[in-house]
Amino acid sequence: MNEVIVGLTGIGALFVLMAFRTPVAFAMLLVGFFGMWVLSGLKSAGGVLLTESYAAVSGYSLIVVPMFILLGNVASAAGFSRGLYDAAFAWVGRFRGGLASASVIGCAAFSAVSGSSVATAVTIGKVALPEMKRLGYGPGLACGAVAAGGTLGFLIPPSTGFVIYAILTEESIGRLFMAGVLPGLLLMALFIVTVWIISVLDPEAGPRGPQVPFGEKVRLLLQALPLVAVILMSIGGIYVGIFTPVEASGIGAALVILLALASGKMTTRTFQGALFDTVKTSAMLYMVVIGANVLNPFLAVTHIPTTLGEGLAGLGLGPYGALAVIVLAYVVLGMFLDGLSMLVVTIPIVFPIMMQNGFDPIWFGVVAVIVVEMGMITPPVGMNVFVVKGIAPDVPMTTIFRGVLPFLLAMFICLILIVIFPQIALFLPNSMFD
């Protein structure tokens, strides 16, 4: 049978399996295994299955995943996220829409210890949403700010999205982490501007918070400082070349555990909970990588990425036209798939096409992660929106989706800026170790 037809059948089967409730990891594993079986026989399929599974679980780079997840879970369990939010609130709460802006800043700060947008939205949402409700914030603005702010978790290092992208494309995790910093800060700034515009247009939606005395502001900032120091140390350590990403994750996790123990805010029970949650999430993520690892050789054998790339080139759209088509496809897929699934399913196909078009692999990683994150807040499947709905059950889903729309626009502006000015993403990775 023609390899391309087998490949396209495989991709079709992948989507059918996912539609019929097969976990994404297993869907990729099944298609990869049975596809290789059809093309090269059972012995070869079994060989790929074993080699790729072992390579995934024994890969050195992927070790950052459990480490950084542990770091984020311990920080959350010890209540450090509350400190980050309180400090942000003290400094910007007095402005229009200040609490919503504080939520965005809190999300950005927590993103620097967490690689997941859902975890970021949950952690900050639990603290910020009741506060905003208490001060009479418009539910659309409040929920929109938290859901959108959560997306920073996937962009600001350490980002699970970048780790998965790096593993799938064999790019440097350290460079990708650095590439996410400036776009993450830019997106945070755009979210704050969005909050401010909404609050100016509708002052009742984002009233000013109470004045906090300067001394209290400084005290709250100092309280958040140890965690900020850990963040700066681990991420900064990668930038200046003191640590590899794996070492930075290990040191970061160890320091946060020590901080949590020293603060007395973590009990044995909460620590156990954080540890169990970490190994569970890590196992899930590793299974996704195993699935992607088994699927990739099948896709390579079928020449699907090359064929699609040639087809796209045949349309005569040029590199940016091809990019626009791919971004559009991501936006549509994002309506139905969650970010992680979308990344692992599409990158093996899309990455070679983008490289054929001469784009920078690190830059495209940032673009892909931002587009994937847009999917986290677009209807009907917006994971972050579901998370916020879980924290604020009395707010209708339509209100949350409406509240998220201006932030979606901000993400789109951010994306356009990064396309026009690639240096926003590439400046830090290109200046690493200088």
Partner 1 sequence: MALAASARSRAIDRANLILAMAAGISLLFMVVLISVGVVLRYLFATPILGINEIVQLNSVAVVMLALPWATAEGAHVRVDVLDRAIGRFGRFAGDVLSRALSAFVLAVLVLRAALKALDALKYGDATNMLSLPIWPFYAILSLGMALCVLVLIGQLVLILREGPQDE
Q: Does 236 bind partner 1 (CB under 8 A)?
A: no
Q: Out of 81, 101, 194, 341, which residue is the one contacting partner 1 (CB under 8 A)?
A: 341
Does 337 bind partner 1 (CB under 8 A)? Our answer is yes
Binding of residue 347 to partner 1 (CB under 8 A): no
- Residues touching partner 1, count (CB under 8 A): 60
Q: Is 46 in the site for partner 1 (CB under 8 A)?
A: yes
Q: How far is the CB of 239 from partner 1 (least distance, A)?
A: 16
Nearest-approach distance from CB 259 to partner 1, in angstroms: 13
Quote the least distance from Cβ 70 to partner 1, whole Å: 7
Instruction: Tell me, residue by residue from 278 to 307, as one string, x for binding to partner 1 by CB under 8 A and - for no binding.
Output: xxxxxxx-xxx-------------------
Choice from 253, 327, 362, 392 touching partner 1 (CB under 8 A): 253
Q: Do 38 and 6 meet the contact criterion of CB atoms below 8 Å apart?
A: yes
Sole binder of partner 1 in the list 4, 38, 63, 301 (CB under 8 A)? 63
Length reported for the chain: 434
Q: Is 340 in the site for partner 1 (CB under 8 A)?
A: yes
Q: Which of 4, 44, 59, 319 binds partner 1 (CB under 8 A)?
A: 59
Q: 19 or 416, CB closer to partner 1?
A: 19
Residues 277 and 7: their CA atoms lie apart, in Å, by 36
Using CB under 8 A, pick the residue from 2, 58, 393, 434 that binds partner 1. Answer: 58
205: CB partners within 8 A, 6+ apart: 97, 137, 138, 140, 141, 198, 199
Residues that bind partner 1 (CB under 8 A): 17-27, 29-30, 33-34, 46-47, 49-50, 53-54, 57-60, 62-63, 66-67, 70, 242-243, 246-247, 249-251, 253-254, 257, 272, 275-276, 278-284, 286-288, 336-338, 340-341, 380-381
